[in-house]
């Protein structure tokens, strides 16, 4: 009987390398592939770089498996970089990992794998999949500190039916120990940074270098009175909830509560002013393929590292959804995602359009 064929998305890091090794142990016919998302003259380090491809090739050779390189650099610019920059210029704070997972890892990569005759793809994400009479389901990792389901809410039944997550319920220390024991060269390689294409975390610099944006000075506005408090250096330098780096001294802590791109204003208030109880979400996906038709109770989180909060999700017109929290949530930010859970299961999620 032929073995089940799996193509592992190998980033050159320890998680995906360990995933490949585990699948080999489990008897699958394993190959590896790396998405090259940068040209040689663009970036030398990080996910999808030449270094990442080289590391992945070395690990594949160690494991004795075939390795492919997919040049998705043009698609990455179109599907990840362009909307990232566009959102920032419109006063939103996007999460590019959401774009990347939806369009690249579980879009183009999966398509290519199926075209090549593979039965499954596999990644090193910290999450789990289970199947029952109602279809496929995505659940949180057993370890909260590494759970990555917040960036995986765009899954659907087709994707989950062709996806394996071998390290989903392992701790990082356990994965590193396994990789070291297996002699995998990248066993102690540091984790990649949050946004792989901005090495120094200077978003503003990156946006200015990769667009025609130029900083335009505008007004800081008081959240309650609407009075002018001072001048800001350009909206891309700020995000909702920010306190540090405002460049203004007012004698008391102030936080960004709103970014008004249309009028080039940044609104400042107290920490209390950053809390809100409801939002409107767009581009909402439900993993089951079935949207709730009436108000439904879930828990939800509006930031990657946030704790899920009790809420009611209600369908509106034009595919929008209202999310009302039982208790106010801090720094609800347009452009970020709201992700719905039923206990440990990920139900779906969408992009935050606005605070309501």
Predicted TM-score (pTM) of the model is 0.93
Reply yes or no on domain 215-269 having CATH 2.30.30.280.
yes
Second CATH level (architecture) for the domain 274-355: Beta Barrel (2.40)
Q: Where are the domains of the chain?
A: 5-124+166-181, 215-269, 274-355
Q: Give CA–CA dist 66/41, Å, rounded.
A: 27
The answer to whether the beta carbons of residues 286 and 347 sit under 8 Å apart is: yes
5-124+166-181 topology per CATH: Rossmann fold (3.40.50)
Tokens 């609407």 -> residue:
226
The answer to whether the beta carbons of residues 29 and 63 sit under 8 Å apart is: no
Task: Print pLDDT tens along the chain (356 aa).
Answer: 689 999 999 999 999 999 999 999 999 999 999 999 876 555 544 554 668 889 999 999 999 999 999 999 999 999 999 999 999 999 999 999 999 999 999 999 999 999 999 999 999 999 999 999 999 999 999 877 789 999 999 999 999 999 999 999 899 999 999 999 888 888 878 877 667 788 778 889 999 999 999 999 999 999 999 999 999 999 999 999 999 999 898 889 999 999 999 999 999 999 999 999 999 999 999 999 999 999 999 999 999 989 999 999 999 999 999 999 999 999 999 999 999 999 999 999 999 999 98
Q: Output the DSSP codes for 13-31.
A: SHHHHHHHHHHHHTT-EEE
- Reference 91, options 237, 247, 281, 268; nearest CA is 237
Q: For the beta carbon of residue 135, count every other beta carbon within 10 angstroms.
A: 14
The answer to whether the beta carbons of residues 64 and 25 sit under 8 Å apart is: no
> Hey, which residues are catalytic here?
100, 196
**Tokens for 77?**
């610019």
Query: In the chain, at which residue ranges do the beta strands (DSSP E only) sit?
Result: 5-9, 29-36, 67-71, 120-122, 127-132, 135-140, 163-164, 218-222, 228-232, 255-260, 265-269, 275-286, 296-301, 309-315, 321-330, 337-342, 345-355
């Amino acid at each position: 009987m032929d073995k089940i064929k799996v193509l592992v998305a190998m980033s050159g890091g320890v998680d995906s390398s360990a995933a490949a090794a585990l699948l080999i142990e489990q008897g699958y016919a394993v190959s590896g592939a790396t998405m090259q998302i940068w040209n040689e003259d663009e970036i030398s380090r990080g996910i999808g770089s030449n270094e990442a491809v080289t590391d992945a090739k070395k690990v594949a050779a160690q494991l004795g498996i075939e390795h492919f390189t997919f040049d998705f650099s043009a698609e990455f610019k179109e599907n990840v970089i362009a909307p990232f920059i566009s959102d920032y210029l419109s006063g939103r704070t996007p999460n590019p990992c959401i774009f990347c997972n939806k369009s690249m890892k579980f879009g183009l990569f999966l398509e290519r794998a199926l075209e090549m005759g593979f039965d499954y793809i596999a990644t090193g994400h910290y999450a789990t999949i289970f199947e029952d009479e109602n279809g496929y389901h995505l659940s949180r990792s057993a370890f909260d500190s590494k759970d990555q389901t917040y960036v995986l809410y765009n899954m659907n039944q087709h994707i989950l039916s062709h996806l394996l997550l071998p390290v989903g319920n392992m701790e990082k220390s356990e994965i590193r120990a396994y990789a070291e024991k297996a002699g995998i060269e990248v066993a102690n390689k540091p984790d990649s940074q949050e946004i792989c294409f901005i090495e120094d975390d200077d978003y503003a610099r990156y946006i200015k270098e990769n667009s025609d944006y130029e900083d335009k000075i505008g007004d800081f506005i008081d959240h309650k009175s609407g009075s002018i408090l001072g001048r800001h250096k350009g909206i891309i330098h700020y995000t909702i909830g920010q306190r540090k780096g405002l460049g203004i001294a007012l004698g008391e802590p102030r936080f960004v509560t709103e970014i008004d791109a249309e009028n080039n204003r940044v609104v400042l208030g107290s920490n209390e002013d950053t809390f809100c109880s409801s939002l409107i979400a767009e581009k909402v996906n439900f993993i089951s393929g079935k949207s709730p038709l009436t108000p439904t109770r879930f828990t939800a989180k509006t930031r990657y590292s946030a704790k899920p909060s009790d809420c009611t999700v209600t369908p509106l017109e034009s595919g929008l959804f209202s999310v009302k929290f039982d208790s106010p949530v801090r720094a609800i930010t347009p452009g970020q995602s709201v992700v719905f859970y039923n206990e440990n299961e990920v139900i779906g999620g969408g992009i935050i359009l606005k605070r309501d």
